[in-house]
């Protein structure tokens, strides 16, 4: 096991009815800026529940945060918060709303060019405290210190992190997710699955507990994902998917082990250039990346096939391939095509993706830093 620091101070309040706890969790007397996305929370009643729980608090609002939240729009929220002297941010929504609100939390007290926090990874010295009400299980942003923001002008989609942007609390009420579309649920399950794989499918590191925790999340997603797609109001299934998504990216399974993240990095470019959903890009890239990297990842791929997909028969090469095929089949069954042609992305722009990765100094990628521009092109070619 590698040395590590693990710290996750977010308080999770999980279960039906927990939105009522908001009035205890938000600091007394806070001037709260409520942030949200396209307004689905108004249609599904979550907005009303939140306002009711916070009766008596001073509430401001900033909506319209996009999927893949943009710096340009978020800066309007930053200016609103500064002008109105908000001192607590409450993000109500999915990963994009939460990521965008994390950026705002760091940007509001920032002196200088706020984009530097993202693009130059300059460390904030302060951030507004924030909490979340999660309405879309997927990214794990409700319980980590990461955020991804896109600059619309340049289509730069970049992750940043700071210990100051951990939410103080996150409310996870599975019932708030009943009205999500099948596509949103499928995306969430695939996102959580790939987060887990990025921290697990690398090389053995004498960390059997982390391995088994990762396998626990993967097996549970495989079991509960289709169940929750089939019956959106099955409380148990929705709860389990929600808890898996949080556990997939709260730092736990990645503690002390090598990590990959090449699938995410390549996927971000597909989203930025072609507008694909984040999870769609992961479903496209991952199976092909695993195949291209099958020699590097051989030991863990065999373990994955055996323990997660119960591939017991055949030699290692056979089982390894079965595991990759099972992954692809699972994504497809959840409703996420795994080929670029399903999204009308042609190969004429593969070069542009590599150029952008190079310009950002992101290459080489992977846990061994051996995914070069040639390998990225090979992965994309397989993904046609």
Return the residues of window 227-256 that contact a copy of itself according to CB under 8 A: 236, 239-240, 243-244, 247, 252, 255-256
Where in 49-110 does DSSP place strands (E)? 58-62, 88-93
Rounded Cα–Cα distance for residues 267 and 340 (Å):
11
What does the block give as tokens for 160? 């940043």
H helices of 120-181, in order, are none
Edge-first strand listing for the sheet containing 31-35: 58-62, 31-35, 88-93, 130-134, 169-172
Rounded Cα–Cα distance for residues 37 and 96 (Å):
8
Return the residues of window 209-228 that contact a copy of itself according to CB under 8 A: 209, 212-213, 215-217, 219-220, 223-224
Closer Cβ to a copy of itself, 19 or 106, answer by number: 19
Closer Cβ to a copy of itself, 241 or 376, answer by number: 241
DSSP 8-state assignment for residue 250: S
Closer Cβ to a copy of itself, 86 or 308, answer by number: 308
Yes or no: say if 113 and 88 are a contact pair by the CB < 8 Å rule: no
Rounded Cα–Cα distance for residues 331 and 184 (Å):
13
Q: Closest approach of Cβ 236 to a copy of itself, in Å?
A: 4
Cβ neighbours of residue 238 closer than 8 Å, sequence gap 6 or more: 137, 174, 175, 177, 178, 228, 232
Is position 330 an interface residue for a copy of itself (rule: CB under 8 A)? Answer: no
Q: Closest approach of Cβ 209 to a copy of itself, in Å?
A: 5
Return the residues of window 9-48 that contact a copy of itself according to CB under 8 A: 9-18
Closer Cβ to a copy of itself, 160 or 243, answer by number: 243
Q: Omega before 364 cis (within 30°)?
A: yes
Rounded Cα–Cα distance for residues 301 and 309 (Å):
11
Cβ neighbours of residue 113 closer than 8 Å, sequence gap 6 or more: none
Closer Cβ to a copy of itself, 139 or 239, answer by number: 239
Closer Cβ to a copy of itself, 10 or 44, answer by number: 10
Rounded Cα–Cα distance for residues 265 and 360 (Å):
11
Contacting range for a copy of itself; rule: CB under 8 A; set: 34-42, 59-67, 72-80, 204-212: 204-212
Q: How many residues bind a copy of itself (CB under 8 A)?
A: 40
Q: Closest approach of Cβ 252 to a copy of itself, in Å?
A: 8
Q: Closest approach of Cβ 174 to a copy of itself, in Å?
A: 8
Closer Cβ to a copy of itself, 4 or 82, answer by number: 4
Closer Cβ to a copy of itself, 233 or 341, answer by number: 233
Return the residues of window 245-304 that contact a copy of itself according to CB under 8 A: 247, 252, 255-256
Contact with a copy of itself (CB under 8 A) among 182, 208, 314, 351: 208
Which of these, 255, 214, 173, lies nearest to 2 by C-alpha position? Answer: 255
Closer Cβ to a copy of itself, 15 or 38, answer by number: 15
Contacting range for a copy of itself; rule: CB under 8 A; set: 52-60, 121-129, 202-210, 349-357: 202-210
Yes or no: say if 353 and 380 are a contact pair by the CB < 8 Å rule: yes
Phi, psi angles (nearest 5°) of residue 40: -60, -25
Binding site for a copy of itself (CB under 8 A): 1-18, 206-209, 212-213, 215-217, 219-220, 223-224, 236, 239-240, 243-244, 247, 252, 255-256
């Amino acid at each position: 096991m590698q040395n590590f620091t693990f710290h996750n101070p977010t308080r999770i309040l999980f279960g039906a009815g927990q939105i009522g706890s908001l009035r205890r969790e938000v600091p007394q007397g806070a001037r709260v800026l409520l942030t949200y996305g396209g307004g689905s929370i108004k249609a599904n009643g979550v907005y009303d529940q939140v306002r009711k729980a916070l009766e008596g608090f001073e509430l401001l609002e900033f909506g319209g945060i996009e999927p893949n939240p943009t710096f340009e729009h978020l800066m309007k929220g930053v200016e609103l918060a500064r002008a109105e002297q908000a001192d607590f941010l409450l993000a109500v929504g999915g990963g994009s709303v939460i990521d965008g609100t994390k950026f705002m939390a760091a940007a509001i007290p920032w002196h200088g060019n706020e984009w530097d926090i993202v693009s130059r990874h300059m460390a904030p010295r302060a951030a507004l405290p924030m909490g979340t009400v999660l309405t879309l299980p997927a990214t794990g942003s409700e319980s980590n210190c990461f955020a991804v923001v896109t600059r619309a002008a340049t289509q730069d989609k970049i992750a940043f992190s700071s210990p100051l942007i951990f939410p103080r609390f996150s409310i996870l009420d599975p019932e708030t997710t009943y009205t999500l579309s099948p596509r949103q649920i499928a995306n969430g399950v695939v996102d959580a699955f790939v987060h887990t794989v990025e921290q697990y499918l690398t090389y053995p590191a004498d960390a059997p507990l982390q391995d088994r925790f990762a396998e626990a999340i993967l097996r549970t997603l495989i079991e509960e994902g289709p169940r929750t797609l089939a019956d959106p109001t099955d409380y148990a299934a929705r709860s389990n998917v929600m808890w898996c998504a949080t556990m997939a990216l709260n730092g736990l399974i990645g503690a002390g082990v090598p990590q990959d993240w090449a699938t995410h990095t390549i996927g971000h470019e597909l989203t930025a250039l072609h507008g694909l959903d984040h999870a769609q890009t992961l479903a496209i890239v991952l199976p092909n990346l695993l195949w291209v990297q099958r020699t590097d990842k051989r030991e863990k791929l065999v373990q994955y096939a055996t323990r997660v997909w119960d591939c017991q028969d055949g030699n290692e090469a056979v089982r390894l391939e079965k595991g990759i095929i099972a992954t692809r089949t699972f994504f497809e069954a959840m409703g996420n095509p795994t080929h670029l042609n399903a999204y009308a992305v042609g190969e004429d722009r593969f070069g542009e993706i590599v150029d952008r990765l190079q310009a950002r100094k992101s290459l080489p990628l992977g846990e061994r830093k051996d995914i070069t521009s040639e390998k990225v092109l090979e992965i994309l070619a397989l993904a046609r």
